[in-house]
Amino acid sequence: MIGIAVRRLGSALPIMLIVSLLTFGMIHLIPGDPAIAIAGLSATPEQIANIRHDLGLDQPILGQLWRWYANLAIGDLGRSLLLGQPVVQVMLQRLPVTLALSAYALMLTLLVGLVSGIAAALRQNTWVDQAAMVFAMLGISLPNFYLGLLMIILFAVDLRWLPTGGYIAFTTDPLGWLATSTMPAISQALLLAGLLARITRSTMLEVLRQDYIRTARAKGLPNRRVVLKHALANALIPITTVVGIIVSLLISGSVVTETLFSIPGVGQVLTQAVLNRDYPMVQGGLLITTALLVLVNILVDVCYALLDPRVRYDGA
């Protein structure tokens, strides 16, 4: 188990190295002078020179690279030009919001996606199956910002059940958190639940065809046990890998959801950073978020090994 985690960490290192290099290189891909791009066309030469100096753009490229990694080593990702705060500090403020929201959406996704996928597989070619798959197809075809807008109109404006936006931290007021997070979480989860339901259904159908399912039935096990124990334990193995993808999509989706519902999370701050050419914030935010995702995927691989004894024993 630990062996697998260590090995995966080992293979994640070169990926993170390339990710950090690409993130560093971003600013140099800006057509023309990045300092002018940041300062804007109306900036004075002094302002431009200041920015160039602050970002280290006046130094040779290798020197800049050295500074980038030296700062990374001490956890310094620079200062946000827009907010004036260290990038790491901004991220530490914003990440809990995005993570809480993503965890909520992930729970909804797993609940709806797994249940409807399993139900569809067990009732293959019946109305249950067809209803679940129509729902899933609509889910994956409905842009989450469109769904979010429709939900705001219906639940916030017309019915006045929930606020149109804003955010209350769970630690401040759990009920307020639920009220502000539910629509954003649903608007994210519906799409992903559709994706998960489709994968769960096809995986379950594949597993239910296996010989060991016939063995379980031949032993006289009740149907519920055959499905919930023997089939599900095997189907969850490939589904686990999908969870890594879902988390990545949740982080992507947070950009839209947080902007739409005015939630002060990572997605919102990064969108603002992009719109305001706050490059240090974009670079740092992207790097930290990606590092977190790589970590999530390592976790997923460990879960995979936990679920599959064949992997667990080979990797020990």
Q: Which of residues 100-139 bind another protein (CB under 8 A)?
A: 137-138
Task: Report the residue number, 110 or 216, with the smaller CB distance to another protein.
Answer: 216
Point out which span in 1-9, 55-63, 81-89, 292-300 binds another protein (CB under 8 A).
292-300
Are the C-beta atoms of 250 and 173 separated by less than 8 Å? Answer: no
State phi, psi for 42 to the nearest 5 degrees.
-90, 5
Cα–Cα nearest to 247, from 176, 179, 299, 311: 299
Q: Which is nearer to another protein, 57 or 177 (CB)?
A: 57
Minimum separation from the CB atom of position 111 to another protein (A): 20
10 binds another protein (CB under 8 A): no
Among 10, 60, 84, 309, binds another protein (CB under 8 A): 309
Q: Given the complex with another protein, which of 32 and 84 has the nearer CB atom?
A: 32
Which of residues 169 and 245 has its CB atom nearest to another protein in the complex? 245
For residues 60 and 53, what is the distance between their CA atoms, to the nearest angstrom?
12
Contact 151, 131 (CB under 8 A): no
CB of 174 to another protein, least distance (A): 28
Asked if 65 touches another protein (CB under 8 A), the answer is no
Binding flags for another protein, 209-248, as an x/- string (CB under 8 A):
-xxx-xxxxxxxxxx-x---xx--xx--xx---------x
Which 3-state string (H, E, C) describes the chain? Answer: CHHHHHHHHHHHHHHHHHHHHHHHHHHHHCCCCHHHHHHCCCCCHHHHHHHHHHCCCCCCHHHHHHHHHHHHHCCCCCECCCCCCEHHHHHHHHHHHHHHHHHHHHHHHHHHHHHHHHHHHHCCCCHHHHHHHHHHHHHHHCCHHHHHHHHHHHHHHHCCCCCCCCCCCCCCCHHHHHHHHHHHHHHHHHHHHHHHHHHHHHHHHHHHCCHHHHHHHHCCCCHHHHHHHHHHHHHHHHHHHHHHHHHHHHHHHHHHHHHHCCCCCHHHHHHHHHHCCCHHHHHHHHHHHHHHHHHHHHHHHHHHHHHCHHHHHHHC
Among 66, 69, 146, 161, binds another protein (CB under 8 A): 146
Distance CA 50, CA 43 (A): 11
Site string for another protein, 18-37 (x = CB under 8 A): xx--x---xx-xxx------
Taking CB under 8 A as the criterion, which residues in 159-178 touch another protein?
Answer: none
Among 99, 293, 299, 303, binds another protein (CB under 8 A): 293
Least CB distance to another protein at residue 20 (A): 9
Of 120 and 177, CB closest to another protein: 120
Nearest approach, Cβ of residue 271 and another protein (Å): 6
Amino acid at site 27: I
Taking the least distance from each CB to another protein, the nearer of 107 and 153 is 153
Find the shortest distance in angstroms from Cβ 247 to another protein.
9
- Cβ at position 186, least distance to another protein in Å: 17
Q: Which of 68, 104, 279, 304 binds another protein (CB under 8 A)?
A: 279
Distance of closest approach, residue 274 Cβ to another protein, in angstroms:
4
**At residue 75, what are phi and psi to the nearest 5 degrees?**
75, 30
User: Quick one: 79 or 177, whose CB is closer to another protein?
Assistant: 79
154 binds another protein per the rule CB under 8 A: no
